[in-house]
Structure 1
Amino acid sequence: MRRQRNQTAVSLMVIAALAMGGCSSGVDSSNKEAAPQATADQSVSKDGFPIVQEPVKLSMFTRIAPVNGPFKDMPVFQDYEKLSNVQVEFTEAPTDGFQEKKNLLFASNELPDVMYRSGITPLEAVRYGSGGQLIPLEDLIRDYAPNFNKLMDEYPEIRAGITTPEGHIYAIPGIVSLSAARTDKKWINQAWLKKLNLKVPETTDELYDVLVAFRDQDPNGNGQKDELPLTARVGLSVATMMSGSFGLDQQFGYNVNLKDDKVEIWMGSERNKEMLMYLNKLYAAKLLDQEVFSHTEAQFLAKQGSGLTGMFFDQTNNNFLPISDQYIGIAPPAGPHGDRMQSQTSPIPRDFGAYAITSVNKYPEISMRWIDYFYSDEGSTLLRFGREGEHYELKDGIPYYKPEYSTSETQPKITPYAGGGAPHLISEHVASYINPPQVQEAQKALDPYMPEIRYAAPMFDEATAQKVNMLRNDIDKYYEEQSTKFIAGALSFDKWDEFQSTLQKMNLEELQQIYQEAYDKMEK
């Protein structure tokens, strides 16, 4: 590759919003360079606490998940107000209908000071930043965010992933430095393997044979054919989980391979056909969950903990803890051409647009200092775990929830992390809940097969982003519909040429060229 490996490991951030919604309010774009400054009597401490000597109030618009309690009752915000001298008033919008409420804020220009856990998409960041409703953050980060700045220096892909083509940063993401928090592990029922005297499968052919044994040989010993050999999250998740065994990567947050500096969208490739044929073979033999295209997330999670499932994919072991000793994490099985890759993994900058400062904010420096605390181990511990002694205990310097706060009912009441998307650092220090020893071992099985570089999706300018969204809306819908039919046997592989031809008519090559040009610019 043109770039030396010891140079910046550039990663471009996710173009997350197909639902881009909203319209520009027509605010003068000249506003974006002149954010209001803190007044003299509200000078901002660049380090230490409090951030300001006299209390300052900030309004924040946020998404609240169904599992969460009110943010004002969470210990992190109660305690941080005392520490920082910054009072936060949250306007909480439920997940259902959140995008519409966010669109309305920008369309009406009735903005809060800060968009917190609001999922500002790359397209929205460019649109509302160039329109003057979101302010550029790069100088504020440099001067008032030492923790976030340090992370950008350590992981240069963060800066690349949040910087617009014009050189501005309008929103900052959550950061996941822990690799185990960016992968779905391949969990297999080791108790069943031992019962049937089987080895861990090393190839896709061996995996097929193991799944047949799970189906036919009564590994749970109850005399009934109630075993479920393989399941996955709804939709094409199972294809993503298996794609690395067929040499198919997931670069740029999409179905993309990179080889010799060439971008290939592989949806119509022969390798993809081989993968879909393999999954069809599993489905036809009832080795793959017959509900994999219809079950809910809750039903999938219940299957993990049922004791009746042979293999599934998930990031952590939270959902099968009572029977966790039955499972181990395994390496990707080698495919028919010897490919053995962990293709599904998220980049270090995650949850794009987790925090943005609007043009009505009178205290942008204070707002940046306020959020920067959560990109330290100390701040992220407070955000995720609450108060030491009350909500968590330290063991060897690592915080662990007390039993009464480790449940899926109680935890979301004390932290905005539950429900996803909160701006903070997920490091090894604060990941005891999602990275216990069993998960660490499962990650070790994947580590040799992880990609050297994980490119996230390009942050295009608005016109290009609109074009990409238009192309992908049609292509992705068609690909998912047809792939589902191929796997389920509702569409014969005799129709593969027609499938390929339709993808070409949908301008797949044009989409591929856009990604190629973005990659070429990045590599200069």
Structure 2
Amino acid sequence: MRKNWKSYAIGTMVASSLALAGCSSNSGASGGAEPAASTSSAVKASGFPIVDQPIKLKMFTRTAPVNGPFKDMPVFQEYEKMSNVQVEFTEAPTDGFQEKKNLLFASNELPDALYRSGLSQLEATRYGAAGQLIPLENLIDQYAPNLKQLMDQYPEIRAGITTPEGHIYAIPGIVTLDAARTDKKWINQAWLKKLNLKMPETTDDLYNVLVAFRDQDPNGNGKKDELPMTARAPVAGQGLPILAMMSGSFGLDLQFGYNINLENDKVNIWMGNDRNKEMLMYLNKLYKEKLLDPEMFSQKEADYLAKQGSGNTGFFFDQTNNNFLSIQDQYTGIAPLKGPHGDQLQSQGAPVARDFGAFAITSVNKYPEVTMRWIDYFYSDEGSTLLRFGREGENYEVKDGIPYYTKAFIDSGNQSKLTPYAGGGAPHLISEKVASFINPPQVQEAQKKLDPFMPKVRYAAPMFDEATAQKVNILRNDLDKYYEEQSTKFIAGALSFDKWDEFQATLKKLKIDELQQIYQDAYDKMKK
């Protein structure tokens, strides 16, 4: 049974998104509704087209700042011709996407499916139990041979997406490529060379390097306009990315998809412990001395990506080098920094089932079998190649069995606009065969710097039963909001560390110990 817990769900449990405002599904079922109509007889078991007579599906999706309109993407234009399935996308930008998704369920005005939907485990459990999402396990067995094969090959995928009642309400993106499951630590090696600085190995080294970046004019323009360090802004309910990026240097892991260390079979939620205080004090020092981006808490995703490509940033975090390709030689990946107690852990990382809740089918869908066959294609190398690379000859060419963007297409700068994978979270397979653009030699080398420091075991976030999920929802809604707010204040200097005892006491009042016991009980059951 142990293997059923050894995947790590990065989809954070967004507690606030689970309030359904008392709504009910169209069917009124409580255990996973069947769709209003079934069209299995019209669905071809294999091959294309999927159906002889064209059908239309409506899907709700998230768009990243780098994306263009989905209707202009080669993958959907070509796949419509192949499949006889026309998809009408309702697009919502990354900023504000969660709120719009919440409204869909609260109002019960549902699309046929959610694509690149970022459903959390709690959302899938709640909306599935409410009958708004339909169970997918039988559809997968009958109409998704590619996905089923991957789930058989990696049993932790099925375990990580199946509720205690045995239902699957959402399917993930699947990543069999190690380098696509981590954010690398990118540093401006051109600045290091110009200032005759060594590559930082410890958190103290990093501080000294950032000071030099700030004060010694590494860009050579005579102005103090360099940005020493930046990170992604927080997304509501998902915590501060900077903490996940730096926690390993302070001995803080991210087990069970949460702020959890697991030591000697004991679960420890570390938000109130001294190691976390040390991390926050370190980040406060960087922020106070203008070494850490003052816009880090509020910047848009597009702003963060632009800073990567500007060449005027010293240190940042991202999965790949897509956003600074034109100046890629200026940067290199480094190993996790050794912290004040000798800790050097790559705590941030994702599982084979990297993007939980990437795709789901709702109860209003009249063509669930067609929809499952439609999405299954993207869990093959062929389908993933179409999604990620577009049209052969026009957008990419194949060398030694691996697709590569053509130079002309890269030079056009349009690749991010013409594929839904850019920006992350698309439901498809990422393997070595389809990852040449996100896994070039520079990224492979950066991943090698992280590999020795990856944890040996990464436990999955438990899929609780409905009653326990409701309790976790309530506890985490309060705890996570408070922790994010106070951590921001500690880092920004708006809250003195003299208040740490009060901070710890409030965590206790918000029942952090009760939440810890729930995770402990879940772990103990797994161990039996």
Tell me the TM-score normalized by structure 1: 0.89
Q: Are 2:244 and 1:240 equivalent residues in the alignment? A: yes
Q: Give the partner amino acid of 1:44.
A: K
Q: 1:468 to 1:386 in 2, by over 3 A?
A: same
Counterpart residue number, 1:153: 152
Could you say if the C-alpha distance between residues 305 and 371 of structure 1 is closer, same or farther in structure 2, counting changes exceeding 3 Å?
A: closer
Pair 1:204-2:203 in alignment: yes
Would the aligned equivalents of 2:214 and 2:227 in 1 still touch at CA under 8 Å?
A: yes
1:356–1:240 CA distance, 2 compared to 1 (3 A): closer
- Point out the more displaced range, 123-132 or 470-479: 123-132
- What are the within-5 Å matches in structure 2 for residues 6-405 of structure 1? 7=3, 10-11=6-7, 13=9, 14=11, 16-18=13-15, 19-22=17-20, 23-25=23-25, 27-29=27-29, 32=32, 37-38=38-39, 40=41, 42=42, 44-45=44-45, 47-52=46-51, 54-63=52-61, 65=63, 68-84=67-83, 86-95=84-93, 111-235=110-234, 236-403=240-407, 405=409
Question: Match of 1:63, SS?
Answer: strand
* Deviation readout 1:300-356 (Å, 9 max, x if unpaired): 333323333222212222222222212110001111211101111122223332222
CA distance in 1, matches of 2:486, 2:43: 59
Cα drift, residue 155 of structure 1: 2.2
Residues 406-415 or 173-182, more deviating? 406-415
Q: Offset at 1:211?
A: 2.4
For 1:218 and 1:110, how far apart are their aligned partners in 2? 55
Alignment match, 1:422: 426
RMSD across aligned positions (CA): 2.9
Equivalent position SS for 1:267: helix
- Greater Cα shift, 11-20 or 263-272: 11-20
| Alpha-carbon distance between aligned partners in 2 of 1:458 and 1:415, rounded to the nearest angstrom | 32
Residue 27 of structure 1: how far off its partner (Å): 2.9
Work out the number of aligned pairs and report it: 516
Deviation per residue, 1:185-207 (Å, 9 max, x gap)? 11112122222332212222222
- In the alignment, is the contact (CA less than 8 A) between 2:31 and 2:129 conserved in 1? no
C-alpha change, 1:117 and 1:287, in structure 2 (3 Å) is closer
* 1:470 to partner: Cα distance: 2.1
Structure 2 vs 1, CA of residues 474 and 408 (structure 1 numbering), >3 Å: closer, same or farther?
Answer: farther
In the TM superposition, 1:395-474 aligns within 5 A as 395-403=399-407, 405-406=409-410, 410-474=414-478
Amino acid across the alignment from 2:7: S
Farther-moved stretch of structure 1 (367-376 vs 349-358) = 349-358
Q: Which aligned runs of 4 or more in structure 1 are off by greater than 6 angstroms?
A: none
Q: Given the superposition, is the C-alpha separation of residues 133 and 93 from structure 1 closer, same or farther in structure 2, using an over 3 Å criterion?
A: same
Kept after mapping to 2: 8 A contact 1:231/1:289: yes
Measured after TM superposition, the shift of residue 419 of structure 1 is: 4.5
Question: Matched residues in 2 for 1:181 and 1:81: separation?
Answer: 28
- C-alpha change, 1:249 and 1:463, in structure 2 (3 Å) is same
Aligned to 2:523: 519
Distance 1:177 1:255 in 2: 25
Q: 1:506 aligns with which of 502, 506, 510?
A: 510
Residues 15, 461 of structure 1: alpha-carbon distance in 2 compared, 3 angstrom cutoff: farther
Task: Flag structure 1 segments of 5+ consecutive residues without an equivalent.
Answer: none
Distance (whole Å) between structure 1 residues aligned to residue 465 and residue 507 of structure 2: 25
2:122–2:473 CA contact under 8 A, matched in 1: no
Cα distance between partner residues in 2 of 1:21 and 1:196: 53
Deviation at 1:101, TM superposition (A): 6.0
d(CA) in 2 for partners of 1:31, 1:205: 54
Question: Once the 2 structures are TM-superposed, how far is the Cα of residue 249 of structure 1 from its aligned partner?
Answer: 0.8
**CA deviation vs aligned residue, 1:387-421 (integer Å, no higher than 9, x gap):** 10112222332222335544797335532323443
Q: What pairs up with 1:483-494 in 2 under 5 angstroms?
A: 483-494=487-498
Q: Is the 8 A contact 1:11 1:158 kept in 2?
A: yes
Deviation, 1:164, is: 0.8
